[in-house]
Amino acid sequence: MIMSKAKLKKWGAALFLAALYFFLLMVFYVNIDQDMGEGYYLPLIAPVLLCLVLIQWASGKFLLSIFMLPNLLTGLLWCMTFPLLYEWTYKSPWYLSKICYDFIVGTAMIVFLTSVEVLIMRFGRIKIASAVMTVLSLLFMAVPLVQIAYYSTVLHCLSPASLMALYLTNYKESVNYLQASFGYWGLAVILAVTFLVLYLFYKFHEAFGKSIAKQAKSLSKVIAALALSVAALMVGAYHYLPQTSMAELWRDVTDYVEKTKEYEKHHEKRLATLDIDINSALPALMKKSHTVIMVIGESASRSYMHVFNPDIPYENTPWMEKCRANGEIFLYNNVYSSWTQTVPSLQRALTEESQYNGKDFLDSCSIIDVANKAGYETWWFSNQGRYGEYDSIVTMIAKGADHTYWSDDSYLFSDKYDMILMDELKKVDPNKNNFVVLHIMGSHIYYNNRYPDEFGRWKTEDGSGMATALASYANSILYTDYFLERVFNYSKEHLNLASMIYFSDHGENLLISHNPDVFSFDMVRVPMMIYLSSDYRQMFPQKSRMLKYRQGRYFTNDMMYDTIAGILFAKSSRYDSGQDLSSPDYKFTRDTLVTMMGEHPLTEDPDAKPELVK
Note the pLDDT tens digit of each residue in 109-142: 998 898 888 888 877 788 998 999 999 999 999 9
Lowest mean pLDDT among 109-123, 194-208, 250-264: 250-264
Query: Residue 179's pLDDT band (boundaries 50, 70, 90)?
Result: low
Q: Is there a domain that residue 149 lies in?
A: yes
pLDDT value of residue 256 = 66
Q: Is the pLDDT of residue 209 over 50?
A: yes
Query: Residue 317's pLDDT band (boundaries 50, 70, 90)?
Result: very high
pLDDT value of residue 71 = 93
End-to-end CA distance of the chain: 86
Residues 300 and 389 in one domain: yes
Q: Is there a domain that residue 257 lies in?
A: no
Residues 190 and 112 in one domain: yes
Q: Is the pLDDT of residue 389 over 50?
A: no
Q: What angle do CA 164, 166, 167 make, to 5 degrees?
A: 65
Residues 215 and 301 in one domain: no
Residues 73 and 186 in one domain: yes
The residue out of 191, 226, 252 marking a domain boundary is 252
- Give, in order, the Cα–Cα distances in Å from 391 to each of 22, 237, 279, 342, 394: 35, 27, 34, 8, 5
Q: Is there a domain that residue 283 lies in?
A: no
What three-state secondary structure class fits 557?
A: helix
Lowest mean pLDDT among 80-84, 130-134, 186-190, 543-547: 186-190
Q: Is the pLDDT of residue 171 over 60?
A: no
- Give 473 or 248, the one with higher predicted confidence: 473
Distance (Å, whole) CA 554 – CA 334: 5
> Which of 24-33, 395-404, 444-453, 575-584 is the most confident on average?
575-584
Q: Is there a domain that residue 432 lies in?
A: yes
- Encode pLDDT of 424-461 as tens digits: 999 999 999 999 999 999 998 889 989 999 999 999 88
**Contacts (Cβ under 8 Å, ≥6 apart) of 500:** 292, 293, 294, 295, 487, 488, 491, 529, 530, 531
Q: Is there a domain that residue 613 lies in?
A: no
Q: Is the pLDDT of residue 241 over 90?
A: no
- Give 237 or 288, the one with higher predicted confidence: 288
- Give 219 or 84, the one with higher predicted confidence: 84
CB 425 within 8 A of CB 434: no
Residues 32 and 125 in one domain: yes
Q: Is there a domain that residue 214 lies in?
A: yes
Residues 32 and 124 in one domain: yes
Residues 297 and 242 in one domain: no
DSSP code, position 93: P
Domain encompassing residue 174: 5-252
Q: Is there a domain that residue 394 lies in?
A: yes
The residue out of 233, 252, 271 marking a domain boundary is 252
How many domains is the chain built from? 2
- Give 57 or 180, the one with higher predicted confidence: 57
Q: Is there a domain that residue 356 lies in?
A: yes
Lowest mean pLDDT among 165-169, 352-356, 438-442, 470-474: 165-169
Hey, which residues does 87 pair with through a beta bridge?
none
Residues 248 and 296 in one domain: no
Residues 247 and 297 in one domain: no
- Mean pLDDT, rounded, for 477-501: 98
pLDDT value of residue 164 = 63
Distance (Å, whole) CA 152 – CA 81: 12
CA atoms within a 13 Å half-sphere pointing along the CA-CB vector of 106: 27
pLDDT value of residue 412 = 46
pLDDT value of residue 217 = 67
Residues 177 and 33 in one domain: yes
- Mean pLDDT, rounded, for 463-476: 88
- Encode pLDDT of 55-76 as tens digits: 888 888 899 998 999 999 999 9
pLDDT value of residue 162 = 67
CB 366 within 8 A of CB 272: no
pLDDT value of residue 115 = 86
- Mean pLDDT, rounded, for 12-20: 92
Closest CA to 119 of 267, 226, 260: 226
The residue out of 224, 252, 280 marking a domain boundary is 252
Distance (Å, whole) CA 294 – CA 560: 10
- Mean pLDDT, rounded, for 593-611: 94
Residues 187 and 300 in one domain: no
pLDDT value of residue 169 = 52
Residues 217 and 347 in one domain: no
Lowest mean pLDDT among 157-166, 240-249, 336-345, 393-402: 157-166
Percent pLDDT > 70 in the chain is 91
What CATH number is attached to the domain comprising 506? 3.40.720.10
pLDDT value of residue 485 = 98
